[in-house]
Amino acid sequence: MILILTLLQARGADRVLVDLRLWDGSGAPVVEDAWVAVRGDRILATGQGEPPPGSRQSLGGRMVIPGLIDAHTHPWAVPGAALRGDDEDTRMQARLQGLRAFVACGVTTVLDAGSSFEAMEALRGWESAGEPSPRLLSLGPVVGPSDGYVDAFLEGHPGIDSVEDAEQHAARAKQAGAMGLKLTIEPGYFLPVLPVHSAELRREIARVASQHELPLFVHAQHRQAHLDAIELQPRAILHIFRDAPGDLPQQLAREDIPVVSTLHVDHGPLVWQTPQALDDPLSRLVVPADQRQTATSRTGWRRYKAAMARVSLPHSAPLLQSLARRAMPTGDYLRAAARRSLRNLGRVHRAGGRIVMGSDSGAYDEIPFYFHGLSSLREVELLVQAGLSPEEALLAATRDAAQLLGLAGEAGTITAGASADLVVLDEDPLRDPRALRSVTAVMQRGELRSPEGWVHGGRRSAPVVLAPIQGGPP
């Protein structure tokens, strides 16, 4: 008898979360009065009504959704660090803080879409040492020609100028644990002055990537670059395009090539004129004071424009750069660009194309607006503004992102056997995506903490206790 009991207990849950509303990310509707049984770092089972044995934790009628997945981030980047002149120690601390910010916001998995091999190794080291961090997948250094876009913006990304370069690079990326390769087709962010690979070399790079079983992700921000990308049949294109669509939306849908949204790239800078957007409690918690200051001050804005002029014309004389700085985007230009990318994403969606959530959080240290964690939540809000339903936007940030990254069944859904990654919310994001900011707790790999616990707690922290939400369950 005792033996049987012990066996039953051994098979049972460590913990059963009860009194919750479950949206499990599978596409199924919300289950009221649900429970989620967790064992170690895994989801054991989910159900409705009477929960199985195990130590129970009430979530007070709150909504539970899968941990979010951001399919385009740069966790090594520190927003605005280059404009402040942060030293390396300060940047290191900020990087650790950025990883915590992701989890505090409910983003439990991210794709690092471009880091040097050194950065990749350091990030992985932190993750395996138990530092609070989202699950990190990486594409390694970005593949672009010498003196091109990559050189202009990023350090530690060697120029790839031949098939031999590509072969060496792919072998090293594979060995370092990259899950794919990122190829950039970018003649310049504001002005088309930068060299790109020939079509022939691009095809060779795609062939090399496939030989190493590294799915190809292509950075492309304009229609022509998207068309060039489609020829390579990549796993995904890493930005929405900015210019006139032609029949590109239909073509993307026909070819079934997912677009990683990155609407926040154009929307993020608008925070400069609307600093009150950072006044909610979650923003106050996850955005460090120095980053907030750079992103919302006049000095920060001036330095940002100067840096953008410099990196947009990396090989030009200082005089030309200073002229370019004067011509750099104003608020009106940014608002127009933001509207265009929203419209284009809506067009791809209406054409039946696949959209996956990615924010480009961090990007590079010259940009002060792309806060880690918060950018991902903002991206989901923007997907809804572009025309996705709240549920479609959430699926783009959970199940569909997991599928893109080869994590189906492991992340993005709350289903038996998956990693125990989930977000507990006071409000319902299926009604309004801004509800993602009402996060009260996040479980990552079976560990449940409040956002404050993820930002300020140690490597291991005390369990959270949740009072019923005001007014009781809906």
Task: Using CB under 5 A, count the residues that bind Zn ion.
Answer: 2
Smallest gap from residue 74 Cβ to Zn ion (A): 6
Smallest gap from residue 114 Cβ to Zn ion (A): 6
Half-sphere exposure of 366 (CA within 13 A, CB side): 15
Give the residue nearest to Zn ion (CB). 360
The end-to-end CA distance of the chain, in Å, is: 42
Subset of 61-120 contacting Zn ion (CB under 5 A): 113
Residue 151 or 360: the one with the smaller Cβ distance to Zn ion is 360
Smallest gap from residue 73 Cβ to Zn ion (A): 8
Angle at which helix 248-255 crosses helix 223-231, to 10 degrees, equals 20
Q: Which stretch binds Zn ion (CB under 5 A): 21-29, 281-289, 357-365, 398-406?
A: 357-365
User: What's the residue count for the chain?
Assistant: 474
Smallest gap from residue 358 Cβ to Zn ion (A): 8
Smallest gap from residue 272 Cβ to Zn ion (A): 20
> φ and ψ at 221, to 5 degrees?
-120, 0
Q: Cα(173)–Cα(381) distance, rounded to whole angstroms?
A: 34
Q: Is 360 in the site for Zn ion (CB under 5 A)?
A: yes
Strands ordered across the beta sheet of 422-425: 42-48, 31-39, 15-22, 55-66, 422-425, 439-444, 447-449
Q: Which long-range contacts (CB under 8 A, 24 or more apart) does 401-404 make?
A: 401/68, 401/69, 401/70, 401/71, 401/109, 401/356, 401/357, 401/358, 402/69, 402/109, 404/71, 404/235, 404/236, 404/258, 404/260, 404/356
Residue 86 or 360: the one with the smaller Cβ distance to Zn ion is 360
Residue 36 or 263: the one with the smaller Cβ distance to Zn ion is 263
Residue 314 or 446: the one with the smaller Cβ distance to Zn ion is 314
Residue 25 or 362: the one with the smaller Cβ distance to Zn ion is 362
Q: Is 165 in the site for Zn ion (CB under 5 A)?
A: no
Q: Which stretch binds Zn ion (CB under 5 A): 38-46, 186-194, 360-368, 409-417?
A: 360-368
Smallest gap from residue 369 Cβ to Zn ion (A): 13
Q: Which stretch binds Zn ion (CB under 5 A): 145-153, 166-174, 293-301, 354-362?
A: 354-362
Q: Tell which residue, 116, 183, 194, 117, has the closest CA to residue 149.
A: 194
Where does this chain bind Zn ion (CB under 5 A)? 113, 360
